[in-house]
Chain A
Amino acid sequence: MSHEFTVTGAKVFLEIHLFGSTINITETLVNTWIVMAVIVGLCLFLTHGMQVHCRTKRQVVAEFIVKKVNAMVGENMGERFLRVGYAPLIASVMGLSALGSLSGMVGMYAPTSDLNTLLGWALLVFALITYNKFRAGGPLGYIKGYFQPIPVLLPFNIISEIATPMSMAFRHFGNIASGTVIMGLLRWALANLSYAIFSKLPGVLGQIFGPIPLLQVGIPAVFSIYFDIFSSLLQAFIFCMLMMMNISSAAED
């Protein structure tokens, strides 16, 4: 009965051989597309039949989300970024992150518990930071930024330039993955414990109830409130906050 506890990565569904290299279609990729489809469906549902005067509940929800995101971006990044259109970007990253992490609760492999997804987002953040630095100071100002405050610090400046998005990716990945590992360990321990208890029942009862993990009913749900719901939503919020702060501080210098 005592299974070994293992942590497995995303399954590879399909391998596409293209120009001598292999592209893997993994569980992460498929689940990300499912989450994106859900978000698009949600947006279409919420904005269906909009009117100037708010009459339906879903329009209230849609207006609430847009107002909140606009207020958050305006407060943390400034009015200029709001005008340029950073609010939809932040909102979509937040929605993808939150729904992606929460999709682990319905038994899917959460796309955010794969480091590749987060490294992709980190690449986006890095590109935006670099673009904003270029925009603020021009190419010369960008290169000059690496030699501040003294030229000896060039290697450290390069490292810190890479470390900012990397640490964002690792933070998000670590939080979601640790939740997954701890919940898996808990379920494993409860299954073994219920086998140890219920297989001691006399006669046929022990044979029937032993293999059924009865203790798994209810107890993991309590821990799931923190590890799945709270941690997922918090990490989505924090990723977006850090994204906004890094981008707006890149535009300042």
Chain B
Amino acid sequence: MNEQLWTKAIVMGSSAIGAGLAMIAGIGPGIGEGYAVGKACEAIGRQPECKGTVQSTMLLGCAVAETTGIYGFIVALLLMFANPFIGKL
């Protein structure tokens, strides 16, 4: 009994750490999207007449750049709320 409790505690603790580590993936999209928005601001400043096109292209690019962060988030969500390892104990 005691040993099983220990195993469960270790698995749950490691899962929480893993979820935290998975969310490091949020750094990349943050930097990338910030860069993209900065460039879009420059483009609008240079050519204010094509604001609409630049905006929609930027939003699309941001959404695509976000994908890796979203993958990290899904892994974290799985580890926190739908842990596949606890069921295997």
Q: Please indicate whether A and B come from the same complex rather than being unrelated chains.
A: yes
B70 within 8 Å of A by Cβ?
yes
Residues of B within 8 A of A171 (CB): 63, 66-67, 70
Stretch at the interface among A24-32, A52-60, A95-103, A172-180: A172-180
Contacts of A238 in B (CB 8 A): 59-60, 63
Q: What residues of chain B lie closer than 8 Å to A181, measured between beta carbons?
A: 77
Interface size class of B (residues with CB under 8 A): 10 to 19
Which residues, 59 to 82 on B, are CB-close (under 8 Å) to A? 59-60, 63-64, 66-67, 70-71, 73-74, 77, 80-81
Interface size, A (range): 10 to 19
Q: For the complex, is A225 an interface residue (Cβ under 8 Å from B)? A: no
B71 touches which one: A170, A234, A241 (CB < 8 A)?
A170
In the bound assembly, the distance between CA atoms of A181 and B80 in angstroms comes to 12
As a 0/1 sequence over residues 32 to 44 of chain B, the CB contacts with chain A under 8 angstroms (1 = contact) are: 0000000000000
A222 on interface, CB distance cutoff 8 Å: no
How distant is the Cα of A6 from the Cα of B77 in the complex, in angstroms?
11
A167 within 8 A of B: yes
Q: Which residues of A contact B77 (CB under 8 A)?
A: 7, 177, 181
Whether B70 and A174, one on each chain, are in contact in the complex, defined by CB atoms closer than 8 angstroms, is yes
> Which B residues touch A242, using CB under 8 A?
60, 63-64
Q: Which residues of B pack against A, CB within 8 Å?
A: 56, 59-60, 63-64, 66-67, 70-71, 73-74, 77, 80-81
**Can you name 4 extra interface pairs (CB under 8 A) apart from A177-B73, A242-B64?**
A174-B70, A174-B71, A174-B73, A175-B66
CB-defined A-B contacts under 8 Å, sample of 19: A6-B81, A7-B80, A7-B81, A167-B67, A170-B67, A170-B71, A171-B63, A174-B70, A175-B66, A177-B73, A177-B74, A177-B77, A181-B77, A234-B63, A237-B59, A238-B59, A238-B63, A242-B60, A242-B63
